[in-house]
Amino acid sequence: MEKKKLAIAIPTSVISDTPHLREKTSKIGLIGRAAAIFRVNEIIIYPDNAGKGKQKSDADLIALLLSYLETPQYLRKRLFKLDHRLQYAGILPPLRTPHHPLNRKAKTLKVGEYREGVTAGKTKEGMLVDIGVEHPALIRETEWALDKRLTLQVVKDGERVEVQAVSRDEVSAYWGYTVTVETCSFGKLLESGKFDLTIATSKVGADFMDVAGKIAGKWKKSRRALVAFGAPTRGLYEIVGDEGANLGDVVDFVVKTVPTQGTETIRTEEAVFASLAVLNVQFGR
């Protein structure tokens, strides 16, 4: 059976209230960390037309930081060139997910285990891939381009480690998230039919526990669920309203996951943690 996939959607203007790159980096690091803790499979960045001139550059920055954070440390130098936007990447929190292993010794690798790797060269036998140990592993296929990131499974251990390429979906453990930058609006994203359960978060939504039973029925049957978040200065009602639509008409549920909040506003990164924690406790995965 296909594994249930969970996606979250965040607006491009999520960093609009933080002028300095260091604070932007910290905020995106928190969102990426929350996604990893609660096993989110995809982070979607959607345009919300706040500060239209900066939407493209801000979306690219968010995607860069999230992708860098998700990439195992041993592959980052190969996959990311020097970029001034990464100058504060050192403050990004470590994910410590299964695809970010601490093991750097080839002798401790076991047949059947999975690693992320990057193609590093070609030989007569196949391609060499960096999997984060002392020596490159061999994959007996040559169709991959150099510097291609792959999910790999160890098929032979010992002095010459051999691996094979696999799909992320074949890995039973949580294997990180992908990052998607959408060019269409939030409403158009929902019209794509990609998700069979859509939940919007809003401080004026229904109290989560009042609709938890209804959500549970759809959650159990769902294969692709989406949880969406608004921006620092505008909620999803306003964002969708710009498209001439009503939020309640385009999503399955609009919920308030912190029904007795003590602050006037909840930041997007805080809402991501709070909402995913509530869903995790209530439904698991």
Distance (Å) of CA 161 to CA 40, 116, 164: 31, 14, 10
8/229 Cα distance (integer angstroms): 8
- If we measure between CA atoms, which residue out of 52, 54, 51 comes closest to residue 62? 54
48/231 Cα distance (integer angstroms): 8
Q: Is 109 helix (H, G, I), strand (E, B) or coil?
A: coil
pLDDT tier for residue 254 given thresholds of 50, 70 and 90: very high
Delimit the domains of the chain by residue range: 5-96+177-283, 106-168
User: Model pTM greater than 0.85?
Assistant: yes
- The CATH class of the 106-168 domain is mainly beta
Looking at 3.10.20.440, 3.40.50.620, 3.40.1280.10, 3.40.50.2300, the CATH number of the domain 5-96+177-283 comes to 3.40.1280.10
163/128 Cα distance (integer angstroms): 10
Chain segment 169-220, per-residue pLDDT in tens:
999 999 999 999 999 999 999 988 899 999 999 999 999 999 999 999 999 9
Chain segment 140-154, per-residue pLDDT in tens:
988 899 999 999 999
Chain segment 34-70, per-residue pLDDT in tens:
999 999 999 999 999 755 667 889 999 999 999 999 9
